[in-house]
Amino acid sequence: MSWWTRALRSLISADERDRLDLFRVFPSIRRFLAARHNYAYMRIASDLLFIIILLLGIFGPRNPEHNVVVFLSWGVIWPIIVLSWFFVGRMWCGICPFPGLGVFLQNKGWTLNRPVPRILQKYGVYSSVFLLALIIWTEVVGGLDRSPLGTTFFLLAIVFGASLLSVLFPGQAWCRHLCPLGRISGAAATLAITEFRPDHDKCRGCTTFACKKGEPGKRGCPVYLGAFNVQNNLHCLVCGHCLPACDRDSPQLLLRNPYSELIRNKGRYITCSYIVPFLIGSQLARFFRETPSYAQLQQSLGFSDAVLFSILLVLGFAAVIGVINYGAKLFGVTEDPMFGRFSPLVPILIPLAFCGELVYRMHYFTAGIGDFLPTAGRQFGLLLLEKMQFTIPDLPVQILAAVFMLNGTIAGLYILWQFCLKDFAGMVKFSNFLGINVLIILLLVAYLAVIF
């Protein structure tokens, strides 16, 4: 069987035995990740781009129509990161520039190296969701996505948070426990077509745990997992630090069915249990804010934009939580004797949530890409670029958005069917099964109503 046939089979099949190890088929991928100088080059490129954005944001024009920083940050880099989630999981986090200063300080020995507090490990997810809500609120209401200086301060605030935790604790504690972008990336990575996993047969008998702790001249796992500990896509950065440290050739980069992890873990991830309803609720609020109905509602109630959007955020989050809880009641099974309590509607809604985020970012990209070159021309005095403005029609963007949302819905229905046909066969009443299908479709209708 050819490799591409096996690859296609691994993407379609729900059987984990059909996963394809890309390190074995394409050894060059493993060599590339294992060679730390390649990783360093990617980090340097990321850091240089980050520094350029900071300099342009601080010293460049304050008018977004004369500064490319805004569109470069929110319209190019962030959508690329969102797209990467579906293919390589959290790999972007492995070259993210935010922890760079903290890593530098640690390398210089400027760290207290204190153990990460239990309270941070246990409750960090709640802080991450709050920070994510604050970012979205500031982006929308505060016009962060229209302010070069505001965007710069936002980026510096994340650098400060990551550096502060690096001074206090070992590794990249910010990335593991607090980073809101890391949390959303981790939740989205459960939907990726690739997964980084150990070969447990090869790990058996290992006594050095070098993939986690590191060894002289070789840094260990930055989020103190180690390859042998990786069981899902939530925390692994796919950074490759464990590859040169492992002398058993255990790490694997597997091509898989993108829904296999969601089906296998059945909504046990607490990160997804909060990120997913907030994302869907916030997306519905953000899309609705761009409709004429929002302005009419604001005028009739007499509320400011900040107050009305805050109310919609809370209501959206609460409504989706209600849908998830009601769907769980319809499902009728929320606890398993082997792995405890779970929330079946969370993995079902994950594809819809992240397709929604992709669509929202796509709207920002298509609305601003036509003015990107003219903005660069105005900023750098290039008259030729100022004349290269164009507009992307709304209709093809809306059609593409509808296709993405429909795909997310179909994926959710597929996961539901897998639950009911396999692990929970005969345990969900048919009428309740139909009710859950209706809930999912109603969410799709809500999306389409505010998008169009």
Same domain, 310 and 164: no
Using CA atoms, how far apart are residues 25 and 226, in angstroms rounded to an integer?
23
Same domain, 290 and 439: yes
**Opening angle at CA 281, ends 192 and 340, nearest 5:** 60
pLDDT for res 242: 92
Using CA atoms, how far apart are residues 436 and 442, in angstroms rounded to an integer?
10
Q: Which of 261, 288, 309 is the last residue of a domain?
A: 261
Q: Where are the beta strands (DSSP E) in 203-313?
A: 252-255
C-alpha closest to that of 306 among 89, 70, 141, 62: 141
The whole-angstrom distance between residue 114's C-alpha and the CA centroid of its chain comes to: 28
C-alpha closest to that of 362 among 164, 169, 74, 17: 74
3-class DSSP state of 408: helix
Same domain, 130 and 190: yes
pLDDT for res 410: 97
Same domain, 291 and 231: no
Alpha carbon distances (Å) from 305 to 24, 27, 133, 283, 285: 54, 54, 16, 16, 12
pLDDT for res 40: 87
Same domain, 334 and 253: no
- φ/ψ of residue 21, rounded to 5: -80, 110
Tokens 């907030």 sit on residue: 278
Q: Which of 219, 237, 261 is the last residue of a domain?
A: 261
pLDDT for res 422: 87
Q: What is the pTM of this model?
A: 0.92
Range of the domain at 210: 3-261
Using CA atoms, how far apart are residues 382 and 386, in angstroms rounded to an integer?
7
**Opening angle at CA 269, ends 335 and 343, nearest 5:** 35
Domains contained in the chain, number: 2
pLDDT for res 323: 96
Using CA atoms, how far apart are residues 252 and 229, in angstroms rounded to an integer?
13
At 283, list the tokens.
């997306």
pLDDT for res 3: 83
- Burial (CB < 10 A; 0-12, 13-18, 19+), residue 348, is buried
Q: Which of 227, 261, 295 is the last residue of a domain?
A: 261
Sequence letter at residue 66: H
C-alpha closest to that of 279 among 75, 29, 85: 85
Same domain, 170 and 301: no
pLDDT for res 336: 72
C-alpha closest to that of 22 among 11, 37, 38: 11
C-alpha closest to that of 240 among 30, 86, 46, 45: 30
pLDDT for res 395: 92
Same domain, 275 and 127: no
Same domain, 363 and 249: no
Same domain, 190 and 224: yes
Same domain, 159 and 247: yes
**pLDDT tens, N- to C-terminus, the chain (452 residues):** 688 899 999 999 988 889 999 999 999 999 999 998 898 899 899 999 999 999 999 999 999 999 999 999 999 999 999 999 999 999 999 899 999 999 899 989 999 989 999 999 888 989 999 999 999 999 999 999 999 999 999 999 999 999 999 999 998 899 989 999 999 999 999 999 999 999 999 999 898 899 998 888 788 898 888 999 999 999 999 999 899 999 899 999 999 999 999 998 888 888 889 999 999 999 999 999 999 999 999 999 999 999 999 999 999 999 999 999 999 999 998 877 666 788 999 999 999 999 999 999 999 999 999 999 999 999 999 989 988 999 999 999 999 999 999 999 999 999 999 999 988 888 999 999 999 999 999 999 999 999 98
Same domain, 273 and 372: yes
pLDDT for res 79: 93
Using CA atoms, how far apart are residues 203 and 247, in angstroms rounded to an integer?
10
Using CA atoms, how far apart are residues 369 and 357, in angstroms rounded to an integer?
18
Instruction: Confirm if 71 and 368 have CB atoms less than 8 A apart.
Output: yes
Using CA atoms, how far apart are residues 154 and 171, in angstroms rounded to an integer?
23
Same domain, 62 and 203: yes
Instruction: Confirm if 343 and 267 have CB atoms less than 8 A apart.
Output: yes
